[in-house]
Each structure stands twice: as structure tokens, then as C-alpha cells.
Structure 1
């Protein structure tokens, strides 16, 4: 703990012997706490099962085929393992991958307040900035792990079901399996970067409410609003400032000749919003009256 001594310039706070603020709430401790939670296992389980569900759907409904002479990424799902992994990212990028990010980042602080354990962590004493930093790093790490898990399982399942081969591009041409795998790594990195705005929003809301569902639901709801606004073509170039406008820019990375401009713009927009929300989270939590 700490003691107060009276000096010539007023009270001076002295730390207890051996106390180091940087050693409180280590990342490994916070990570172990979050991994033991049921919602973490359920979320990873859902993402791991999705590829199996898609394989079963293709087995029941038959191989996908082009409609009206148009070939989409979905139509190439059964061409190879890399194609199947790309399709899993395609069907989940718009909404499914938003959920683990909002869950891990929105539930982390609000759940402590809901359990009435937040004040005990701060009384340990864990500095507020240190507590938020540990929780943010672990939440982002779990979010990244969720995004990596899906394509890894999909690649394994797809290879077992459809074989290992090149990535067939809907617009024509193929990418050898090796370069295609590298491109998928780039896609996952971009998806993580594009979801940082959701992470920042959920984390900020988590410091503002004691209801985890409110923080998670608020982040997901506002993400949906962004998708709706992006569909309003009357907004014109204003849509360029919406993170949702760039959510499928990663498709340019799986072309024979990749185009990076859309991904760069999308990442810039998302990171800018995220930094603002993270700053708001630290600012509001530093001034928050923690009573639970």
C-alpha cells in the first residue's frame, strides 16, 4: 500500500517497500483469467465449427456454381483449401468477426464492475492506467487469435475436403498455394486492423457502463449502423470516412496483381477512429468514480 508523510511542500506519497506499479496485474495473469471464462471458449468454438458447417452445406447442396455467367469468390469455395479459407473470411468479415472483437474488448472492464471486483483490483493497488493497459492488450490479443483461428481451421478443413492447390481468383487466373497462403496472412492482418475501430468503441463503452451486454451490444449495434450508412449511396464521398466502406478492401490482396490503396485507406480510417476511442477510454476511466 502507500503511506503519506508531511514534507515542507505538503503531503508526499511514498510507495510501500517492493511495490512496482509496472508489475501489477501482469499480462499472463489477465490472459489466464480471460481464457478461463466460458464466453472465450464458446466464441473460439463457434469460429472453429464454422468451416465444418460450410463443408456440410456444400456436401448437402452440391458444389457452388456461377450464376448468369458471373463467378464470385463463393463459387470457387471447393476449388482448393486456400479457396475455402478465403471464402470463410469472406462470409465472416462483414459481421461474424465483429462479435469476438466487441465481446473481448467490450466485456473486459464492464464485467469487473458488474461483478463488483473492479474496486478490489484498484485497491490491490493496480494503477488505473496499468489495469486498462493490461486488459486492452489481452483483449486485442484474444481478438487477433480469433481471427487467426478461423482461417487456420478453414485451411485445414478445406485441404482435407478439397485438396491442397492454388487459389483460383474469380476474375481469372490463379495464385500458387505458397503465395496464396501469404496473401491470406495479409488479409487476416488487414481484417484485424479494420476491426480496431470496433475494438476501440467497445473498450470505451466498457469503461462507461457496468453492463457488459450494453458495451458489447452498443459496439455491435453502431457497427451495424455504419454498414447501413455505407449502403446509402446518396452520401457519396462521405462514405469514405466510414470504416464499413473498406471492410472488403482485402479482396484486392487476393488478385494476381494486388492493389493496396483501398487497404491502406481502410486501415488509416480504422486506426484513426480507434486511437480516439482508446484515448477516450483512458481519459474517462481515470476520472471515473469506481464504486463497484
Structure 2
């Protein structure tokens, strides 16, 4: 008795979708395994865990608090202010680098090692491999952010204490509410962090060079920070990818305002979509016959 074959179009479409999902899952597992094997990524996560401990201990031991920074004057007396002080520094200089270390190298490494023809087999298409690398890079950036935030908040609370926090409007926030607000402030880093990851992916695809892929987003972030600090550019600041890093300020004011958060999410979304779309088109039309 012979088996019957269903030639209906919807059946073929379902089978093709199933094969596509399996191909993406396999590529995702492979990219995750490659990332876990890299000493650089493990060292970066370890640094995200240990660096906040060192910073909090050193700053809390200072006789003079850094009064010229936001929440700096309370940092040595209040653990929540210390966590926000570290957040302000990390958002300006550290987070773009943290995510670019992996995202800026994840495509360029295939060019440097000449492995494109090897990885682009019949079972893995360019689009599946592209999205697998994107998901792995985004996942790493988010994990690094969670580790950094958790280590900062926990260390600040243990070393400095959980006293009531004085907000930006002079209001006193009780410890439980302050903890939730500090955690929410760190959570607002997700949209711009995702956008910087996508920018790093674009640099990685376009340049085919890991150094450019990693340094490019960092330099871009520094330039945006400098431009954002200039006067008379109020119309330009909402378009800068570094502006959403400051959106958490509205959570610590009384009354709270979320306008900058919504604008920051929109800005981050635009940067993410444009960067990923451009990177995908560049990779799709790339000639890989040379390696």
C-alpha cells in the first residue's frame, strides 16, 4: 500500500514554514554555542558583575561625594542614589561599548575568518543566519544589562544602605518605592541599548571589520553625547540615540512625566529598524564566493 502525498498549496506552505523554523532554531543554537565559547563574552559578563562592586565600594569610601553629577551629592549616604549615579555614568559611556563588543564582531568575524561559504549551507539561508545572529547579539546585550543593573542595585543597597531617596523635585521616596523606581530607571535603558546593538550590527555587516564594528557605535555615541550637550539644538536632541538614555529622569520627578520615555522609545525603534533593514540588504547582496 503506497503512501499518499497531499499536494494542496496550504500543506506545502505549512511544511515550508516548519522547515524554516527548524532552520532558524538550529542557527540560533549554533550562534549561541559560538558566543558561549568566546572568552571575550564571558569576560564581559564577569566585568558587568564585578565592576559595579568596585565602583560602589570606591565611591562610598570617598570623603567628598561627586556633587557635580546627578544624585552624586547623596551617593555616599543613600544606596538608591548610588545606583542612579552609576546608571548615569553607564548610560553615557559604558552601555554602547558593552553591547558593541559582541554585536560589532558577530558578522565581521565571518569575514575575517573566511567562513561565510561554510556557514551558508543549504540548510541555513542568509536570512535565517542573519536573524539568528541578530537575536543572539540582542540577547547578550540584554543579559549584560540585567547583570550590570542587578549587581549595581544589590551592591549599592548592601554597602551604602536602603535609606529613603530624595527625588529630583525634592520629594522623599520611601525605600520600597525607591527600589521599584531605580529598577524601572535601569529598565528604560532597554530601548536605546537595543538600538545601539542594531547600529553595531550594521557596522559589523558593512565594514567586515571587528574593530570598526565595535568602535563605530562607541564613537558615534560619544559624538552624540557631545552634540547633545551643546546649546540651541533642541530640535535635534530628540533624534539623537543617546537622548533616550536620559529619559529615566522623569520617573524621579514629582509629578512624574513619561513624555521623554515615549519619545525615546520611538527614536530607538526608528534607529533599530533602519539599521537592521540596511544591514540585511547589505548582507543579502554580498558576494561571498571569496570566503
Structure-2-length-normalised TM-score: 0.84
Match of 1:98 among 80, 84, 96: 96
**C-alpha displacement at 1:155, in angstroms?**
1.8
How much has 1:26 moved relative to structure 2?
4.1
Q: CA deviation at 1:204?
A: 1.2
Q: Which residue of 2 aligns with 1:178?
A: 176
Q: Is the 8 A contact 1:136 1:203 kept in 2?
A: yes
Answer yes or no: is the 8 Å Cα contact 2:70–2:85 preserved in 1: no
User: Match of 2:186?
Assistant: 188
Given candidates 124, 127, 130, the residue that maps to 1:129 is: 127
CA RMSD of aligned residues (A): 2.3
Between 1:221-230 and 1:168-177, the stretch displaced more is 168-177
1:55-204 matches, within 5 Å, as 55-62=56-63, 64=65, 66=67, 72-123=70-121, 125-204=123-202
| Residues 241 and 72 of structure 1, relative CA distance in 2, 3 Å threshold | closer
Report how far residue 73 of structure 1 moved. 0.6
Q: Is the 8 A contact 1:86 1:151 kept in 2?
A: no
Q: Deviations along 1:171-228, whole A, 9 cap, x unmatched?
A: 3122223322322332233212023332221111211232111111112122222222
1:21 is matched with 20
Q: Does structure 1 conserve the Cα–Cα contact (< 8 Å) formed by 2:141 and 2:194?
A: no
CA displacement at 1:75 relative to structure 2: 1.6
Tell me the equivalent position of 2:250: 252
Shift in CA distance, 90/287, structure 1 to aligned 2, threshold 3 Å: same
Distance 2:184 2:262 in 1: 12
Structure 1's 114 and 42: CA in aligned 2 closer, same or farther, altered over 3 A? same
Following superposition, the deviation at residue 148 of structure 1 comes to 1.2
Unaligned runs of at least 5 residues, structure 1:
1-18
Per-residue deviation at 1:235?
A: 3.1
Distance 1:215 1:203 in 2: 7
CA deviation after TM superposition for structure 1 residue 66, in Å: 4.7
Deviation at 1:93, TM superposition (A): 0.6
Partners in 2 of 1:284 and 1:208 — Cα distance? 7
> Cα offset for 1:52?
2.1
- 1:204 and 1:95 map into 2 onto residues whose CA distance is 20
Distance 1:29 1:175 in 2: 47
Give TM-score, length-normalised by structure 1.
0.84
Aligned to 1:54: 55
Counterpart for residue 13 of structure 2: none
- Structure 2 unaligned blocks of 5 or more: 1-17
Report the CA distance between 1:144 and its aligned residue: 0.9
> Offset at 1:117?
2.1
Distance 1:223 1:59, change over 3 A: closer
Residue 285 of structure 1: how far off its partner (Å): 0.8
Residue equivalent to 2:5: none
Contact 1:88 1:151 in 2 (8 A): no
